[in-house]
Amino acid sequence: MHRKVMIIAGEASGDARAAGLVRAVKRQRPDIRFFGIGGDQLRAEGVDTLVDSRVMAVVGLFEVLAHFPTIYGALQLMRRKLREERPDLLILVDYPDFNLRLAKTAKELGIKVLYYISPQIWAWRQERVHRIRELVDHMAVVFPFEEPFYRNAGVPVTFVGHPLVEEVHSSFDHIGACRAFGLDPARKVLGLFPGSRRSEIKRLLPVLLDAAAQLHTKHPDLQFILPRASTLSEADLAPHFAGRNVPVTVVPGRAYDVMAACDAIVSASGTATLEIALMRTPLVVIYKIAPLSYRIMSRMVKVNHIALCNIVAGARIAPELIQHDAKADRIADEAESLLYDTMRNAQMRERLSLVREKLGAAGASDNVARVVLQMLDIPTPR
């Protein structure tokens, strides 16, 4: 009997993690059918994506409200598919507010639920762990500090390692990467990483480009490069370049090769900060959401850092410019220091090695695939 699995990846980073999981499962059981929500990477693995993740990717309380009809429509469709298809397993990847609602439907139908890539409940709204205990059969977590958190709360959990450890690499060195994108390796390169969600682009790309304009005026030889996430189109970026005379090389995808080309990067907070850290490229992290969203969320946050690379390291390795501090002149100053202060650049590269150490060995996709097969009652090789 062919097994059916619904998988939900509502954002670009989740699409990549989910694709690695599906690939690892299909190496052992190519007959398993996957369907659900995802993007280009899940589709490339043969997953039937009933909703494209790019319409789901928003951040901030009020930004989510603005997209509520689209997101609610996707939730209702997935609930209906759970009832009609009765998959053998529901796999949820991050995206907690949506996914926990879907988990409730699965629980009512007696469908097993695996949650891969935990919500950051250790950072804020920790009370959600009680809901997870009620709705989720197993957590597959990617940070070592998450395992004791869930175990102490009575939630079945496996630390599978972080998939980025095996995924983050470039086939180029710095010089080769520069040449691949038509950049001069003898001149400094600054990466602009505004995020993968349209709401992030709206808030962060204008201020990034204003900072780039200031730097371009002061350092005419400085080169700029921006990787466009798979969840975004050219049309999402184009309006923000209008009227700004800054020469930026925009590259569809290929984020890791772009990181290799950069002497420093200014990045939106999120998974990208972890990826950049694993590439050991010095970075400045910026974070900005709707003012009221920020006031509410800042009261709930339980961690000392907002950037994942700093949270994993347990130290403020990368500077963080949050909300009103994420201004063009502050961004330009921090980026300029990282680009032209050779000692600071080298010291940050050295300290970023700590992130890889903390995340442990490779093999996350195979480890979580083993959990999937066990939950499907399929024997796995030892």
Average pLDDT over residues 346-367: 91
CATH class of the structural domain 171-359? alpha beta
Q: Please report the pLDDT score of residue 38 as a whole number.
A: 94
Pairing of strands 223-228, 248-252: parallel
Residue closest to 231 by CA, chosen among 270, 280, 265, 262: 270
- Predicted pLDDT of residue 62: 44
Q: What percent of the chain has pLDDT over 90?
A: 68
What's the whole-number mean pLDDT along residues 115-129?
81
Q: Give pLDDT, residue 66.
A: 58
pLDDT of 281 reads 97
Residues 127-138: pLDDT tens digits?
A: 889 999 999 999
Write out pLDDT tens, residues 240-285: 988 888 999 999 989 999 999 999 999 999 889 999 999 999 999 9
CB of 287 closer than 8 Å to CB of 323? yes
Beta bridge partners of 53: none
> Which of 146-150, 235-239, 299-303 comes out lowest in average pLDDT?
299-303
The span from the CA of 87 to the CA of 90, in Å, is 7
**Residue 76's pLDDT is what?**
96
Mean pLDDT of 69-96: 94
pLDDT digits (tens, 9 = 90+) for 315-356: 899 999 988 888 999 999 999 999 999 999 999 999 999 898
**Cβ 294 vs Cβ 323: under 8 Å:** yes
CA 157 from centre of chain: 21
- What the block records as the tokens of 224 is 């700029």
Contact by Cβ (8 Å): 263, 189: yes
The pTM score is: 0.77
What pLDDT does 61 receive? 46
Write down the domain spans for the chain.
Answer: 4-163+363-375, 171-359
pLDDT in tens, 166-205: 889 999 999 999 999 999 999 999 999 999 888 889 999 9
123 — pLDDT class (breaks 50, 70, 90): low
The string of pLDDT tens digits covering residues 39-77 is 999 999 999 999 998 777 654 444 455 566 888 899 999
Averaged pLDDT score across all residues of the chain: 90
**What pLDDT, on a 0 to 100 scale, did the predictor assign at position 69?**
80
Residue-level pLDDT at 64: 52
Fold match between 4-163+363-375 and 171-359? yes
Q: Decide if domain 4-163+363-375 falls under CATH 3.40.50.2000.
A: yes
Distance (Å, whole) CA 77 – CA 50: 9
